[in-house]
Amino acid sequence: MEIPDNLRYTKEHEWVEFDPKNKTAKIGITEYAQDKLGDIVHIDLPEEGDTFNAHDTFGSVESVKAVSDIYTPISGKVLEVNETVLDGPEMINEDPYSEGWMVMLSVKDTSELESLMDASAYEAYLEELE
Amino acid sequence: MNLKQTPLYEEHQKLGATFVNFAGWEMPIQYKGIVEEHLKVRSAVGLFDVSHMGEIEIHGAGASDFCQKVTCNDITKLKPGKVQYTAILNEDGGMIDDCTVYMFHPEHFMFVINASRKENVLNWLYMQQVDQVEIRDRSQDYALIAVQGPESSNIVSDLIARDVQTITYYEFQVCNVFDQAIIVSRTGYTGEDGFEIYIPISIVKNVWKALLELGQSKGIAPIGLGARDTLRLEMGYRLYGNDMSEKTTPLEAGLSWIVDLHKGSFTGHHALKDQLEKSDFAKVRGLVFLEKGIPRPGYEVFENDEKIGFVTSGTYSPTLKKGIALAHIKTKSKIGSIVQVDVRGKKYNAKITKTPFVEGSVKK
């Protein structure tokens, strides 16, 4: 299972790609999450300009079987929403770490990133789950 | 809890299935993905293990009268070799189960019932048992494989080395395969042309493998319970536990076509007659979403800001690429009227629609 080294992870299987230069972060769900969900057929995402605190629900992702909440791993304001996955949510199944990103935030407090898992910690966490 | 497994469990493992607990059974929910499996059945052919279903035989000189008494459809319309969709009711008209009845001859019938309802059905039948009626639970003896899809008839013909066109919709024949008798029934739960095959446990692995091999050139694939649910919901077929319960009558479930109030007395008859006279009850009806969103069981339904009921089954329709639902709603509104479904705090417009939601290949 793919777990890119350059990302940070949550126990709810979201990933964060932090851009230190612009203090922005892209957020999506992991390969593991999309595999467990199965065919993703609908997602709900926030509007540009919405602000969230870490651990807030910012949307939902629905497979044929079930609906799951998605949480913001870190606090911030929504700069951009990926229109491609709104129109074609199957992109999240196909390419969860790249084309399947969901929202980009301006990061409010970069220290929050420290509380997230790195790739090896997330890998160990997945092994525990299995 | 110890989950039961069907005799095909290892075959599913080899085929890469993911499993789910369904009514105490460890059943494949999917192999490759629900949408892909769903479309496979609509376009070609799929193979389902539904061995968890229960089979109960009714024997004896009183079998015919007994079946007539414990079901709401008219059993006298059945002939040997024919199948009928019906329901077993309690005295209040509530559904103990929905089921199919197979007539072998006037003193031999078979009920095919939901796995989750087996104990309730058996107890209820025993309570109504009379002289000259024998009730036999055969669920342990039969595995059940469904072959469903527009290509299914060729494959089943090859299996039994006989043209299945002599078996028409809701008919069955007893055939011989691997020196054993199997029951080949032209029925299903997908809306596609297809067969349900009752097979002695001892040969079911051979039959499963033979069907996969015979169907290879048609692109046959194993199908899990996930796609079974989306397929049945596209056809508006009710599911016990979602759209039906002991508190729902068949009239409320939108199954008035399986109720015959003129056939004479049967268990639940009075309650249904009373309900029909009052005519003021909530019914299960079809909804199609007009906006992106997916209805799920329990979501509330509104009309002019008034709550009129709730969703009993809901999913994404892989064929229509829209949310579809069955909802238990109280309204006088006609087909085409717009209602709202509360999806996690947001109201979505949906249209009351006739079912089935899509056309299948089934040859009625």
Is this prediction's ipTM beyond 0.95? no
B29 in a structural domain? yes
> What pLDDT score was predicted for residue B363?
75
Region B8-18 average pLDDT? 98
Which pLDDT belongs to residue A35?
A: 92
Averaged pLDDT, B139-143: 97
Task: Please indicate, yes or no, whether residues B214 and B73 belong to a single structural domain of this protein.
Answer: no
List the CATH number of the domain containing B95. 3.30.70.1400
- Provide the domain count of chain B: 3
**Residue B30: which pLDDT band, with cuts at 50, 70 and 90?**
very high
State what percent of residues in chain B have pLDDT above 70: 100
Same domain, B110 and B76: yes
Query: Is A42 in contact with B29 (Cβ distance < 8 A)?
Result: no
Domain assignment present for B316: yes
Averaged pLDDT for residues B189-203: 98
Q: Please report, for the domain that includes residue B305, its CATH number.
A: 2.40.30.110
pLDDT at B361: 83
A57 contacts chain B (CB < 8 A)? no
Which residue of A lies nearest to B32 if distances are taken between CA atoms? A38
What is the mean predicted confidence (pLDDT) over B5-27? 97
Residues B41 and B185 in one domain: yes
Is A38 close to B316, i.e. CB distance below 8 A?
no
Tell which of A64, A69, A87 to mutate to test the B interface (max B CBs under 10 Å): A64
User: Is residue B65 domain-shared with residue B39, that is, in the same domain?
Assistant: no
Q: Which of B34, B242, B348 to mutate to test the interface with A (most CBs of A within 10 A)?
A: B34
pLDDT in tens, B35-46: 999 999 999 999
- Give B233's contacts in chain A (Cβ within 8 Å): none
Please tell me the predicted confidence (pLDDT) of residue B185.
Answer: 98
- Note the pLDDT tens digit of each residue in B61-73: 999 999 999 999 9
In a domain, B349, yes or no: yes
Say whether both B225 and B164 belong to one domain.
Answer: yes
Q: Is residue B341 part of a domain?
A: yes
Q: Are residues B42 and B58 in the same domain?
A: no
pLDDT at residue number A75: 96
Q: Which residues of chain A have pLDDT under 70?
A: none
Question: Which residues 59-78 of A are in CB contact (within 8 Å) with B?
Answer: 60, 62-67
pLDDT band, residue B22 (cuts 50/70/90):
very high
Chain A interface disruption, residue of B225, B316, B347, most A CBs within 10 A: B316
B224: containing domain: 9-52+140-234
pLDDT of residue B271: 97
Confidence at residue B360, expressed as pLDDT on a 0 to 100 scale: 85
Secondary structure (H, E, C), chain B: CCCECCCCHHHHHHCCCEEEEECCEEEEEECCCHHHHHHHHHHCCEEEECCCCEEEEEECCCHHHHHHHHECCCHHHCCCCEEEEEEEECCCCCEEEEEEEEEEECCEEEEEECHHHHHHHHHHHHHHCCCCCEEEECCCCEEEEEEECCCHHHHHHHHHCCCHHHCCCCEEEEEEECCEEEEEECCCCCCCCEEEEEEEHHHHHHHHHHHHHHCHHHCCEECCHHHHHHHHHHCCCCCECCCECCCCCCCCCCCHHHCCCCCCCCCCHHHHHHHHHHCCCCEEEEEEECCCCCCCCCCEEEECCEEEEEEEEEEEECCCCEEEEEEEECCCCCCCCEEEEEECCEEEEEEEECCCCCCCCCCC
Report if residue B76 sits inside a domain. yes
Report residue B175's pLDDT band, with 50, 70 and 90 as the boundaries. Answer: very high
Task: Supply the pLDDT for residue B332.
Answer: 87
A12-109 domain in CATH 2.40.50.100? yes
Residues A29-52: tens digit of each pLDDT: 999 999 999 999 999 999 999 999
B319 and B220 inside one domain: no
pLDDT band at B124 (very low <50, low <70, confident <90, very high): very high
Determine the Cα–Cα distance for residues A46 and B76; give it in Å rounded to an integer.
59
Q: Are B109 and B67 spatial neighbours (Cβ–Cβ below 8 Å)? A: yes
